[in-house]
Amino acid sequence: QEKSVSGTVTGENGEGIPGVNVLVKGTNRGVVTDIQGSYSITVPSSDAVLQFSSIGYITEEVTVGSQSSIDVVMEEDIEELTEVVVTALGVSREKRSVGSAVQNVDGETLAQAKETNIVNSLQGQVAGVQIQGSQGALGGASRITIRGANSFLGENQPLFVVDGMPINNANYASSDQQAGFGGGAYDYGNAAADINPDDIESVTVLKGASATALYGTRGSNGVILITTKSGKGKKGIGVSVNSTWTFEEPLALLEHQQRYGGGAITSSPSGFVEFNENGTDYLAPVYSKDGAWGPKYDPSVNVRHWDSWDPQAANYGETRPWVAPPVGYEAFFETGMTAQNSVAFGGANEEGSFRLSYTNLSQEGIMPNSELQRNTVSFNVSYNLTEKLTVSAAGSLVNQGADGRNATGYDNKNPMQAFTQWWQTQLDVNRLEQNQTWIDGTHYTWNPAGPIINDAGTLIGFDPSPYYFDNPYWVRNNFLQEDSRDRFYGNLNLNYEIVEGLSFNFKAMRDGYTFQAKEGSPIGTVGQSSYSEVTRTFAESNYEAKLLYEKYFNNDFSLNAMIGGNLMNQSTTFESIETVGGLTIPNYFNIANSADNPAVDTYETEQAIRSVFATASFGFREMLFLDLAVRSDWASTLPADNNQYYYPSVSTSFVFTELAGLQGVDWLSFGKVRAGYGQAANAPNPYALSPYYVNQQPAFGVPRYTVPNTNPNPELGPEKTNEIEFGIELGFFQNRLSLDLSYYDRTTEDQIFTVPTSATTGYTARYLNAGSMKNSGIEVVLNGTPIKTDDFAWDMSLNFATYNNEVVSLTEGVDNIIVNNTWAADVRVQKGYPYMALFGQEFQRNENGELIIGSNGLPIAESSRKFLGSAIADFTGGFRNTFTYKGLSLSALVDFQGGGVIHSTSLQWAKYSGMLPETAEGDIREGMVVEGVKEDGTPNDIEVDAQTYYQSTWSVAGPNVYDASFVKLREVRLGYTLPKSLLGNLPVRDVTIGVLGRNLAILYSDLPYLDPQGVTGSGNVQGLENAQVPTTRSLGFDLSFKF
Partner 1 sequence: EDLSEINDNPNNPTRVDPASLFADAQLDLSTLYWGRALNFEFGMLMVQHFAQNEYAEDSRYNQNVSTFNGSWNGLYSRPMMDLMEAKKLVENQREQFGDAVTDNRLAALTIMEVFGMQAITDLWGDVPYSEAFQVNEFPNPSYDAQSTIYADLISKLNNAINSIDENASGFSAGDNLYGGDMAMWKKFGNSLKLRMGMRLADVESTTASTVVSEAIASGVFESNADAAYLVFGSDQRIANPFYIDETVNARDDFAISLTLTDYMEASNDPRLEYYAKPTPSGDIVGMPYGLTDGEAFELKGSTSRPADAIRQATAPAKLMTYSEVLFLQAEAVERGYVSGTAVDLFNDAILASMEDWGVDGADAATYAAARVAAYPSMDWEQAIGEEKWVALYTNGLEAFAEWRRLDYPQLTVPEAAVITEIPTRALYTSDELGNNANSVPEANSLTGSVYWDVN
Q: What is the footprint of partner 1 within residues 477-536 (CB under 8 A)?
A: 526-528
837 binds partner 1 (CB under 8 A): no
Question: By rule CB under 8 A, what string of x and - marks binding of each residue 683-702 to partner 1?
Answer: ---xx-xxxxxxxxx-xxxx
Shorter beta-carbon distance to partner 1: residue 804 or 952: 952
Shorter beta-carbon distance to partner 1: residue 289 or 880: 289
User: Using the 8-state DSSP alphabet, how is residue 529 labeled?
Assistant: -
- Report the phi/psi class of residue 473: left, alpha or beta, with left for phi > 0 and alpha for psi in -120 to 50: alpha
- Taking the complex as a whole, the smallest distance from the CB of residue 207 to partner 1 amounts, in Å, to 31
761 binds partner 1 (CB under 8 A): yes
CA 34 to chain centre: 34
Shorter beta-carbon distance to partner 1: residue 279 or 703: 703
Region 61-100 residues binding partner 1, contact defined as CB under 8 A = none
Q: With 0-12 CB in 10 A as exposed, 13-18 as middle and 19+ as buried, what is 1017?
A: buried
Find the binder of partner 1 among 763, 800, 949, 954 (CB under 8 A). 763
- Taking the complex as a whole, the smallest distance from the CB of residue 453 to partner 1 amounts, in Å, to 8
Region 949-988 residues binding partner 1, contact defined as CB under 8 A = 951
Q: How many CB atoms lie within 10 A of CB 671?
A: 20
Region 569-628 residues binding partner 1, contact defined as CB under 8 A = 580-581, 596-597, 599, 602-604, 606-608, 610
Q: How far apart are CA 88 and CA 963, in angstroms?
A: 38
> Which regions of 584-711 does DSSP assign to beta strands (E)?
594-620, 624-635, 644-654, 668-682, 694-699, 702-706, 710-711
The residue type at 852: I
Find the binder of partner 1 among 54, 151, 735, 757 (CB under 8 A). 757
Q: How many CB atoms lie within 10 A of CB 667?
A: 9
Shorter beta-carbon distance to partner 1: residue 47 or 596: 596
635 binds partner 1 (CB under 8 A): yes
Find the binder of partner 1 among 151, 593, 611, 637 (CB under 8 A). 637
Across the strands, what pairs with 795? 882
Across the strands, what pairs with 511? 489, 540
Shorter beta-carbon distance to partner 1: residue 82 or 709: 709
863 binds partner 1 (CB under 8 A): no
Site stretch for partner 1 (CB under 8 A), options 49-57, 60-68, 241-249, 703-711 = 703-711
**Sequence-separated (6 or more) residues with CB below 8 Å from residue 413:** 184, 407, 475, 479, 521
Across the strands, what pairs with 237? 347
856 binds partner 1 (CB under 8 A): no
- Taking the complex as a whole, the smallest distance from the CB of residue 188 to partner 1 amounts, in Å, to 22
End-to-end CA distance of the chain: 37
Shorter beta-carbon distance to partner 1: residue 377 or 608: 608
Find the binder of partner 1 among 665, 707, 808, 995 (CB under 8 A). 707
Say how many CA atoms lie within 13 Å of 859 toward its Cβ: 26
- Taking the complex as a whole, the smallest distance from the CB of residue 614 to partner 1 amounts, in Å, to 21
Find the binder of partner 1 among 161, 303, 629, 817 (CB under 8 A). 817
* H or E stretch at 380: strand 371-384
38 binds partner 1 (CB under 8 A): no
- Taking the complex as a whole, the smallest distance from the CB of residue 758 to partner 1 amounts, in Å, to 4
> Which regions of 621-689 does DSSP assign to beta strands (E)?
624-635, 644-654, 668-682
- Taking the complex as a whole, the smallest distance from the CB of residue 817 to partner 1 amounts, in Å, to 8
Residue 50 and residue 68 in contact, taking contact as beta carbons nearer than 8 Å: no
643 binds partner 1 (CB under 8 A): yes
Closest CA to 493 of 509, 478, 515: 509
Shorter beta-carbon distance to partner 1: residue 667 or 700: 700
Size, binding site for partner 1 by CB under 8 A: 74
3-state secondary structure of 490: strand
The residue type at 648: P
DSSP track, 20-55: -EEEETTSS-EEE--TTSEEEEEESSTT-EEEEE-T
Shorter beta-carbon distance to partner 1: residue 434 or 696: 696
Q: How far apart are CA 365 and CA 372, in angstroms?
A: 8
- Greatest extent of the chain over all pairs of C-alpha atoms, in Å: 110
The residue type at 406: N
For 379-436, give the secondary structure using H, E and C: EEEEEECCCCEEEEEEEEEEEEEEECCCECCCCCCCHHHHHHHCCCCCCCHHHHHHCC
Find the binder of partner 1 among 814, 873, 996, 1024 (CB under 8 A). 814
Residue 684 and residue 637 in contact, taking contact as beta carbons nearer than 8 Å: yes
- Taking the complex as a whole, the smallest distance from the CB of residue 339 to partner 1 amounts, in Å, to 41
DSSP track, 71-129: -EEPPB----TT-EEEEGGGEEEEGGG--S-EEEEEHHHHHHH--SSHHHHTTTTSTTE
Q: How far apart are CA 78 and CA 58, in angstroms?
A: 8
Shorter beta-carbon distance to partner 1: residue 498 or 818: 818
Shorter beta-carbon distance to partner 1: residue 206 or 716: 716
Q: How far apart are CA 600 and CA 808, in angstroms?
A: 42
Shorter beta-carbon distance to partner 1: residue 826 or 971: 826
* Sheet with strand 60-63: strands edge to edge: 30-32, 21-24, 49-53, 60-63
CA distances from residue 794 to 785, 791, 878, 996, 998 in whole angstroms, order as listed: 6, 10, 17, 19, 21
Site stretch for partner 1 (CB under 8 A), options 59-67, 751-759, 784-792, 956-964 = 751-759
- Going by DSSP bridges, is the β-strand pair 371-384/223-228 parallel, antiparallel, or unpaired? unpaired
Question: By rule CB under 8 A, what string of x and - marks binding of each residue 297-336 to partner 1?
Answer: ----------------------------------------
Shorter beta-carbon distance to partner 1: residue 44 or 527: 527
Site stretch for partner 1 (CB under 8 A), options 681-689, 782-790, 965-973, 978-986 = 681-689
Question: By rule CB under 8 A, what string of x and - marks binding of each residue 434-453 to partner 1?
Answer: ------------------x-
Region 456-475 residues binding partner 1, contact defined as CB under 8 A = 460-461
Region 229-288 residues binding partner 1, contact defined as CB under 8 A = 264, 266-267
Question: By rule CB under 8 A, what string of x and - marks binding of each residue 923-952 to partner 1?
Answer: ------------------------x---x-
User: Using the 8-state DSSP alphabet, how is residue 978 labeled?
Assistant: P
- What length does the chain have? 1043
Site stretch for partner 1 (CB under 8 A), options 540-548, 621-629, 630-638, 920-928 = 630-638
Shorter beta-carbon distance to partner 1: residue 237 or 452: 452
Shorter beta-carbon distance to partner 1: residue 295 or 878: 295
Find the binder of partner 1 among 317, 352, 708, 1008 (CB under 8 A). 708
Find the binder of partner 1 among 93, 147, 234, 289 (CB under 8 A). 289
